[in-house]
Amino acid sequence: MSGCEKRYFLGIDTSNYTTSAAAVDEDGRIIAFSKRLLPVRAGGAGLRQSEAVFSHVRQLPGVMDELASQIRAQYKPDDKVYGGAEYGAEDRTGSEAKGRVDSESEGRFGSEASEAEDSPGIKADRGELRPAAVGYSARPRDAEGSYMPCFLVGESTALSLSSVCGVPAYDFSHQAGHLAAAVYGCGEEKLKSEPFYAFHVSGGTTEILDVGCDGKITLLGGTKDISAGQLIDRVGVMLGMHFPCGPELERAAAEYSEAGGELSSVPAVCVRGPYCNLSGLENKLSGLKNSGRPMGEIALYAITAVWLTLEKLTLEIFRAYGTRPVLYAGGVMSCAYIKERLGSRFDAYFAPPELSSDNAAGAAILCRKKYLSENGVI
Q: Which pLDDT belongs to residue 83?
A: 59
How far apart, in whole angstroms, are the C-alpha atoms of residue 160 and residue 98?
A: 7
pTM recorded for the entire structure: 0.86
User: Residue-wise over 168-186: b if at least 16 C-beta within 10 A, else e?
Assistant: bbbbbbbbbbbbbbbbbbb
> Which CATH architecture group holds 5-177+359-374?
2-Layer Sandwich (3.30)
Q: Which pLDDT belongs to residue 42?
A: 86
Taking only the tens place, the pLDDT of each residue in 178-220 is: 999 999 999 988 898 899 999 999 998 999 999 998 889 999 9
- Which residues of the chain have a pLDDT value below 70? 1-5, 78, 80, 82-128, 378
**What percent of the chain has a predicted confidence (pLDDT) above 70?**
85
**DSSP β-bridge partners for residue 270:** 277
**Cβ–Cβ under 8 Å, residues 246 and 229:** yes
Helices (H), the chain: 49-73, 103-109, 151-165, 174-186, 228-238, 246-258, 279-290, 295-321, 336-345, 353-356, 361-374
Taking only the tens place, the pLDDT of each residue in 96-111 is: 333 322 334 444 554 4
Spatial CB neighbours of 281, under 8 Å, sequence gap ≥ 6: 231, 267, 269, 270, 302, 305
Nearest to 87 by CA among 366, 369, 376, 365: 376
How far apart, in whole angstroms, are the C-alpha atoms of residue 344 and residue 269?
A: 20
What fold is seen in the domain 195-324? Nucleotidyltransferase; domain 5 (3.30.420)
- The β-bridge relationship of strands 275-277 and 122-123 is unpaired
Q: Which amino acid is at 296?
A: G
How far apart, in whole angstroms, are the C-alpha atoms of residue 242 and residue 9?
A: 34
Q: Which pLDDT belongs to residue 82?
A: 61
Q: Which pLDDT belongs to residue 104?
A: 41
Reduced to 3 states, what is the DSSP secondary structure of residue 1?
Answer: coil
Could you give the dihedral angle defined by the CA atoms of residues 281, 286, 288 and 290, in that order, rounded to the nearest 10 degrees? -160
Q: Which amino acid is at 274?
A: P
Q: What is the C-alpha R_g of the chain?
A: 22
Which residue spans of the chain are classified as CATH 3.30.420.40?
195-324
- The β-bridge relationship of strands 206-211 and 196-201 is antiparallel
Reduced to 3 states, what is the DSSP secondary structure of residue 63?
Answer: helix
